[in-house]
Each structure stands twice: as C-alpha cells, then as structure tokens.
Amino acid sequence: MKEVIEKDGGKAGMCRVGHSFIKEQMRKEKAIFAGELSGHFYFRDNFYTDSGVIAALKVIQLISKKGKKLSELVEPLQKYYASGEINSKVENKGGKMKELAKKYSSGKISWLDGVRIDFKDWWFNVRASNTEPLLRLNLEAKSLNLMEEKRDEVLEIIRNK
C-alpha cells in the first residue's frame, strides 16, 4: 500500500495494531484513511470509524464508476504474495521476537509493534496478540516461492522450543 499511496502523492505511515492506537495516530496526523491486514478500515470523514460497510460502499462506488470487475481493479495492486496472519502459541513471546531479530539482523528492524524486519524482496512482522496468548506472523514477498520459503523458515524459529 505504501507504494500506491506515495505514487499518488500521499503520505503513508505505520502504527501499532488495534483500533485505539490507530484512531489516536490518525487524529494526531490528520490522516484520511487507515487499514489493517485483518480487514479493519478507518475513515476520518466518519469520525475515524472502523467500518467494513463504508469500505464496501467505496469499493462498489469504484466498480460502478470504472465499469470494471473488482478482480480487474485489484490486479495491478497485487505485486506481493502474502502469508496471511499465522498464529502460534508460544511460551516466551518476547524471547522469540528477540531471537528473530538476532537471526535476521541484516534486515531493517523496527520494534513499533512486535518485531518487523524488512529486506529488499520480502518482509515480516511478528507481534504478540493483544487478546490471546499467541504470536502473530504476517509475511510478504515478491514471489510465491520466496514467500513460502521465508514463511516456513520464520515459523520454524517461532515454533521450535
């Protein structure tokens, strides 16, 4: 998303997962829109509401305006392969995140919300669930093979005791 937002003259940012963190940052930065990989979408013009209905109506409006199928509209945006959110029950969540940071120290590391590590062709984020005793992995890569390879590699570290 960052690439698309910046290409169209916008400013992309990141913050911790969770509606209270997102709404706070949106207000602070006067953000127009925010979204989470989990499918939550927030809109400034509707009091920073998390609304799937508004998101769906915006998509329907775009389909109607462009006269194209949804698959045709999203195809140019699908440049990466995503693992989806993968949950793992882990005893020492903080220790596992530190272990990942050490193993992947050649990447760009952020501790904004768990540990996020970016490389040229792939990235991942592992964070502790706010509501359950789990670590949550999200990983994207520029190819399906790389995504599957790195997903399995990171999961092996997370799930290995």
Q: Please, which pLDDT band fits residue 34 given cuts at 50, 70 and 90?
A: very high
Q: In angstroms, how far is the first alpha carbon of the chain from the final one?
A: 35
The reply to whether 86 and 47 lie within a common domain is no
Tokens encoding 139: 């990983």
Q: Please, which pLDDT band fits residue 49 given cuts at 50, 70 and 90?
A: confident
Q: What is the 3-state secondary structure (H, E, C) of 102-133?
A: HHCCCCEEECCCCEEEECCCEEEEEEECCCCC
Domain residues for 154?
81-159
Number of domains comprising the chain = 2
Residue 82's pLDDT is what?
95
Residue 131's pLDDT is what?
82
Residue 140's pLDDT is what?
97
Q: Is the pLDDT of residue 156 over 90?
A: yes
Q: Is the pLDDT of residue 125 over 90?
A: yes
What is the CATH classification number for the domain harbouring 122? 3.30.310.50
Using the 3D structure, point to which of 42, 77, 112 is the last residue of a domain.
Answer: 77
